[in-house]
A and B are shown apart, each in its own frame.
Chain A
Amino acid sequence: DTAVSQTPKYLVTQMGNDKSIKCEQNLGHDTMYWYKQDSKKFLKIMFSYNNKELIINETVPNRFSPKSPDKAHLNLHINSLELGDSAVYFCASSQGRSGYTFGSGTRLTVV
């Protein structure tokens, strides 16, 4: 039973398109995150939600819009995709000061 699941696993799309990535966690955690991992494997936080409320927005372009319909779900919508958006996007969740549980990632390729 997957703890943090994100879909799709792979996403190939053309520049200018709009796409969404979905994330669900069944751990009962209060906080969820989106991280971006670049080609050099550097993981950088993008957004964090606590009980459906946005608490971190790390100077991410406005084309990226997270949405949390409930505390178990955090989706990421990206408008007008650019070549530089190509990366692996990870969803994660945590509770209190515990470690993070990550999903298996969505590899986005913009062509």
Chain B
Amino acid sequence: TQLLEQSPQFLSIQEGENLTVYCNSSSVFSSLQWYRQEPGEGPVLLVTVVTGGEVKKLKRLTFQFGDARKDSSLHITAAQPGDTGLYLCALRLIQGAQKLVFGQGTRLTINP
């Protein structure tokens, strides 16, 4: 059983459309990070959300942390081909040694 579930797993849309991807857990977590991974590269940190209900914006990307701190969403406005990539959410487990646990990712393709 995955600690983090991401949906959808695959998403292919046209340039200019809006989209939302989701990250859910049955557990409450203290903070959550979103990463983007492009082919042939490692994941790159986009944002960390910490407070329930928190909203952070990164240009056309809007990240929200659920009020109960069990879920998060990433909304992209007017998607562009450069947004294509694998979007990963991750939570930091703090019991014992700290480690980052990843969801299975959403593979996003933006078609010109």
Interface of A toward B, CB cutoff 8 Å: 4, 33, 40-45, 48, 55-56, 90, 92, 94, 97, 99-105
- Residue B107 at the A interface, CB < 8 A? yes
* Residue on B nearest A42 in the bound complex, by CB: B104
Q: Which of A40, A45, A90 contacts B42 (CB 8 A)?
A: A90
Q: Which of A4, A33, A41 contacts B104 (CB 8 A)?
A: A41
Interface of B toward A, CB cutoff 8 Å: 31, 33, 35, 37, 40-45, 48, 86, 88, 92, 97-102, 104-105, 107
Using Cβ atoms and an 8 Å threshold, which residues of chain B touch A56?
97, 99
User: DSSP class of B's interface residues: helix, strand, loop or mixed?
Assistant: strand
**Alpha-carbon distance A104/B42, docked complex (angstroms):** 4
**Alpha-carbon distance A100/B107, docked complex (angstroms):** 20
Using Cβ atoms and an 8 Å threshold, which residues of chain B touch A42?
102, 104-105
The answer to whether A43 touches B41, judged by C-beta atoms less than 8 angstroms apart, is no
The answer to whether B104 touches A40, judged by C-beta atoms less than 8 angstroms apart, is yes
The answer to whether B104 touches A45, judged by C-beta atoms less than 8 angstroms apart, is no
**Alpha-carbon distance A56/B101, docked complex (angstroms):** 13
- Which of A99, A102, A103 has the most CB atoms of chain B within a 10 A radius of its CB? A99
